[in-house]
Structure 1
Amino acid sequence: MKLSIERATLLKAVSQAQSVVERRNTIPILANVLIEAEGDTVSFRATDLDIEVVDRANAMVERAGATTVSAVMLHEIVRKLPDGALVSLTDDQRTGRLSVEAGRSTFSLATLPREDFPVMASSEYQSNFTAKAGDLRRLFEKSKFAISTEETRYYLNGVYMHVADGDEGRALRCVATDGHRLARIDAALPENAEGMPGVIVPRKTVNELRKLLEDDDADIAISVSETKVRFATPDLALTSKVIDGTFPDYTRVIPAGNTKRLEVDATEFAKAVDRVATVSSERSRAVKLNLEEDKLTLSVNSPDSGNAQEELVVAYGDEALEIGFNAKYLQEIANQIDRENAVFMFNSSGDPALVREGSDASAVYVVMPMRV
């Protein structure tokens, strides 16, 4: 194999591959990226046996072929090469080395046989449809903060993507929860997506998806089966196993009878919570909300370090209410809100609060209260 490729193109492809690779591997080949060159394209494939990413790029291929080399090592080398460099990759099967040349720099890297590289078995996908990258990014970015990190409840360690009834007809919906807070985000249902099986997309896959969804107007081809999900553009494909488990009935957690309505500037609210939480003990990070007519008082009382209080002018016309929340959870929800105002719906100091983005019903958040 012998090819030449622009440094910027190579860096983009290799960085996507090396981020999938696990740093600690008991199987040496899983630390490598599979490089396959043919015609005028080169592909870079990496896997951790749960996720597989394939990035294709244009290159000047002198001699077709394939090899595998350390993904992290190749990425570090390419990252440190000068901008605009033309990089030459040459595989010598006699020595088992890959030569990387750019300008006056030459590197010789150990390789492993391509035959040892595990390729994820292709799946028969039950559902195939296309969605805009901007819509998908909104679904995953706004919900992923609520993914659970508790390994014992593994079925909560991802985002549940499924088809549901939204406020404006059928919707493609993403839900995540850790039992303390919940995010439910809807987008218009893409054509041909109606029969899609509901799948739990793992946390790592959700994070890797970000690079695939950078261009809002790009069309993303989505394929879904009971065991796998695939997101692809013409140049990049991300295939992932889904979490084998049943996502709980989240609809029972979303309160329907909350009538006390608070409307507040989302940015000001997030900043105020951050300020008063400075004095809270790291373990509890509890902040108390005191609601009176058109006034919200945020307060924190920490026996160890002191107390803090801040008042905000808000729109509130119901009876006085005192309720406590984890400051971090409030901030994370407030930071998701794109509209100017956040709308909180309360019932009592012991019931979960419902949060919306202004009048937009396509994004709903739930946060459980704390005793303060």
Structure 2
Amino acid sequence: MRFSIERGTLLKAVAQAQSVVERRNTIPILANVLIEAEGNGVSFRATDLDIEVVDRTVAQVERAGATTVSAVMLHEIVRKLPDGALVVLSDDAAQGRLLIEAGRSNFNLATLPREDFPVMASSEYSTNFACPAPVLRRLFDKAKFAISTEETRYYLNGVYMHVAQGEGGPVLRCVATDGHRLARIDAALPEGAEGMAGVIVPRKTVGELRKLLDDDEAQIAVSVSETKVRFATPAITLTSKVIDGTFPDYTRVIPMGNARRLEVDAQEFARAVDRVATVSSERSRAVKMSLDEDRLVLSVNAPNSGAAEEELAVAYGDEPLEIGFNAKYLLEIAGQVDRENAVFLFNSSGDPTLMREGNDTSAVYVVMPMRV
């Protein structure tokens, strides 16, 4: 195998591969990236047995072939090469080495046989559809903050992507919750997604998927089966196992009768919460919201460190209310608001609170209150 490739193109492909590789591996081959050169292109494949990413790119191939080499080591070398350098990679099969040449720099790295590299079995996908990158980006970006990190409730360690009934008909919906807060985001149902089985996309996959979604013009080909999900652009294919579990009935925790309505400038609110939370003890980070006629007072009382209070002008015309929240949860939810105003809907100081962006019901958030 021998090919030459521009350093920037190589870095982008290797960066995607090395982020999938687990740093601590008991199986040496899983620390490697599989490089396959053929025709006028090269593919870089990496896996941790749960996720597989394949990045295909154009290169000048002099001699076809394949080998595997440490993904992290290759990434570090390419990262440190000068911008615009032409990099030549060739393997010495007899010595079991990969030679890397760029200008006056030369490296040779140990390789492992390509035959040892595990390739994820291609699943029979029951549902296939295309979705614009900005739509998928919004669905996953707005939901992922609520993914649970508790390993015991493994079925909450991802984003539940499924077809649901929205206000105007079927929608593609992403939901995440950790029991303290919940995010439910809807988008128009893409053609071909109608019969899709609901799948829980793991947290790590959601992070890797984000790298495919930066191009606003891209169409992402999505394929779903009961055990796997695949997201593909012409250059990159990301395949992942889904979480084997049943996502709970989230509709039961979304309050329907919350009548007390608060409307507030989302950025102003987030900055004020951040300021008053500075004095709170890190463990609870509780912020009290005191609501009265068109007035919101945010306060924190931390006996060991001090107290803080800030008043905001808001739109509120219901009964006075005092309710407490974890500051981190309030900040994360306020950070999802793209529009100017956030709307909070309360019932009482002990019930879940609903939040949405203005009158838009396609993104709904629920947060549980705290005692303060």
> Which interval holds the TM-score relative to the shorter structure?
over 0.9
C-alpha deviation, 1:165, in angstroms:
0.9
Deviations 1:319-370 (A, max 9, x none): 0000000000000000000000000000000000000001111000000000
Q: AA paired with 2:353?
A: A
C-alpha deviation, 1:303, in angstroms:
0.6
Deviations 1:114-141 (A, max 9, x none): 0000000000001000000000000000
1:288/1:300 contact within 8 Å kept: yes
1:260 is aligned to 2:264? no
Separation in 2, partners of 1:170, 1:6: 46
User: Which residue does the alignment assign to 2:119?
Assistant: 119
TM-score in terms of structure 2 length: 1.00
1:311 is aligned to 2:329? no
Separation in 1, partners of 2:79, 2:183: 37
Deviations 1:167-199 (A, max 9, x none): 222110000000000000000000000000000
1:194 is aligned to 2:167? no
Q: Identify unmatched segments of 5+ residues in structure 2.
A: none
SS in 1 for 2:229: strand
1:165 is aligned to 2:189? no
1:149/1:157 contact within 8 Å kept: yes
Separation in 2, partners of 1:308, 1:134: 40
Deviations 1:20-78 (A, max 9, x none): 00000000000000000000000000000000000000000000000000000000000
1:29 is aligned to 2:29? yes
1:167/1:362 contact within 8 Å kept: no
Separation in 2, partners of 1:79, 1:173: 38
Deviations 1:131-161 (A, max 9, x none): 0000000000000000000000000000000
Deviations 1:72-106 (A, max 9, x none): 00000000000100000000100000000000000
SS in 1 for 2:335: helix
1:247 is aligned to 2:247? yes
User: Which residue does the alignment assign to 1:104?
Assistant: 104
Separation in 2, partners of 1:84, 1:170: 48
SS in 2 for 1:336: coil
Separation in 2, partners of 1:131, 1:191: 9
1:357 is aligned to 2:357? yes
User: Which residue does the alignment assign to 1:277?
Assistant: 277
Aligned residues: 372
C-alpha deviation, 1:271, in angstroms:
0.4
1:290 is aligned to 2:276? no
Separation in 2, partners of 1:76, 1:340: 42
Separation in 2, partners of 1:217, 1:298: 42
C-alpha deviation, 1:6, in angstroms:
0.5
TM-score in terms of structure 1 length: 1.00
Separation in 2, partners of 1:118, 1:81: 30
Separation in 2, partners of 1:78, 1:169: 49
SS in 2 for 1:19: helix
Deviations 1:236-279 (A, max 9, x none): 00000000000000000000000000000000000000000000
User: Which residue does the alignment assign to 2:182?
Assistant: 182
User: Which residue does the alignment assign to 2:55?
Assistant: 55
C-alpha deviation, 1:224, in angstroms:
0.1
User: Which residue does the alignment assign to 2:301?
Assistant: 301
Range that drifts further, 161-170 or 227-236: 161-170
What are the equivalent positions in structure 2 for 1:65-80 lying under 5 Å apart? Answer: 65-80=65-80
Deviations 1:279-313 (A, max 9, x none): 00000000000000000000000010010000000
User: Which residue does the alignment assign to 1:156?
Assistant: 156
Separation in 1, partners of 2:311, 2:348: 21
Separation in 1, partners of 2:208, 2:280: 34
Q: AA paired with 1:283?
A: R
Separation in 1, partners of 2:181, 2:232: 31
SS in 2 for 1:248: coil
C-alpha deviation, 1:162, in angstroms:
0.1
Q: AA paired with 2:354?
A: L
User: Which residue does the alignment assign to 2:146?
Assistant: 146
User: Which residue does the alignment assign to 1:210?
Assistant: 210
Separation in 2, partners of 1:238, 1:168: 32
Separation in 2, partners of 1:285, 1:23: 33
CA RMSD of aligned residues (A): 0.4
SS in 1 for 2:192: coil
Deviations 1:197-244 (A, max 9, x none): 000000000000111001122000000000000000111000000000
